[in-house]
Amino acid sequence: MAAEQRRDLVHYTRHRLAWHLGQRGESPQRVEEAAQVLDPNCLTLGFARRFTDYKRPNLLLHDPERLSRLLTDEHRPVQLIIAGKAHPSDEQGKQLIQAWMEFVHRPNLRRHVVFLEDYDIEQAQHLVQGVDVWINTPRRPWEACGTSGMKVLVNGGLNLSQLDGWWAEAYQPTCGWAIGDDAPSDDVADAECLYRLLEEEVVPTFYTRDTQGIPRDWVQRMRASMSQLGPQFSSNRMLLEYLDCCYQPAIRAFRRRSKDKAELARGLHAWHKAVALGWDNIHFGTVDAKHDGEWLYISVPVYLGEIAPEWVRVELYAAPCDGHPAECLPMNAVGPIPGAIQGYIFSISVAATRPVDGYTPRVRAWHSDAFLPAENALIAWQR
């Protein structure tokens, strides 16, 4: 199946390249040569996207001679199909494309690497169905998602990508390959990692075959990728999650709010108004923190003014830092502040894994029937 898809991609690429060359006014001989590019039995890498600096589309070109040797290896050749375009105003993106054009026009590489102009839905459909390995090299942590790699999954292709976007969540050693680690990107180190993975893992795995000509380890990775990642990163899963987490709760909420002549809806409207009216009067007293062995005991006076305590949640927040994830911990009211109107002492005990100044108390608008923070994003921070 994978070989047939690769063959179809090779035929499509030849046809598309010939059309591009003809449109540019190349000689008939040059157009005819397009029918000889690529090999249906060769390991095929794909790389296609908008050409812009943060996507690092030229990371593979960091060492052109090393890439050339990889592509033209006599016993284990590799071929590369690239597609993309730059924004008309992105001069740097255009220069990145020009660098690839100079590379693909090397006489010894014309049958091993093809650059397809533009990148549209038709090209994407053929590429994600036919490549053996999809490469993505964004500069971490700038990648928003990387949906092209997800489309490769269901077609049996494997991913070789920076640990960013969706691949930071999806990567498993049995399903593909990761460039670098979860630290900010380093172009030199990432290029070296990319070449090493191709030379020492990707290419040998593809070309190591049994007596029947089957690359058993490669097939095992394909099956793991399709079975483990395919169902998770698919539009079916996405739609069901939207249905379960968004649409159905919204329908139920609408019915509750409409019941009894919209009694709940009117109550929510009154809550919104009352909270907004009194929000600026919320203020904090001095934080008191005590360190006792492995625990921190933190308390803070909170003056709510005319806002009822059941309309808010008091929390202790800590931002991600030094390997610790973000934390948002509920604080409990332990008693009123003598002589204060709607003033309370809130406290909490936490494991002493951070310094005291790593935590900040805050007050957040709260209603059990409101969608938060979408319907009310008010937060008051202790300063």
Mean pLDDT of the chain: 92
Kindly report whether the global pTM for this prediction surpasses the value 0.85. Answer: no
State mean pLDDT over 356-370: 94
For residue range 132-141, what is the model confidence (pLDDT) as tens digits?
999 999 998 8
Cα separation, 3 vs 5, whole angstroms: 5
**Residue 1 has what pLDDT?**
60
**Residue 380 has what pLDDT?**
96
**Residue 281 has what pLDDT?**
93
For residue range 2-53, what is the model confidence (pLDDT) as tens digits?
789 999 999 999 998 888 888 888 888 888 888 889 999 999 999 988 898 9
Q: Which helix (H) or strand (E) holds 249?
A: helix 248-278
Cα separation, 372 vs 177, whole angstroms: 38
* Structural domains present in the chain: 2-233 (3.40.50.2000), 266-381 (2.60.40)
- pLDDT band of residue 379 (cuts 50, 70, 90) is very high
- pLDDT band of residue 60 (cuts 50, 70, 90) is very high
Residue tagged 């589309």 (tokens): 57
State mean pLDDT over 275-299: 92
- pLDDT band of residue 121 (cuts 50, 70, 90) is confident
Using alpha carbons, select from 46, 125, 53, 55 the residue that is nearest to residue 83.
46
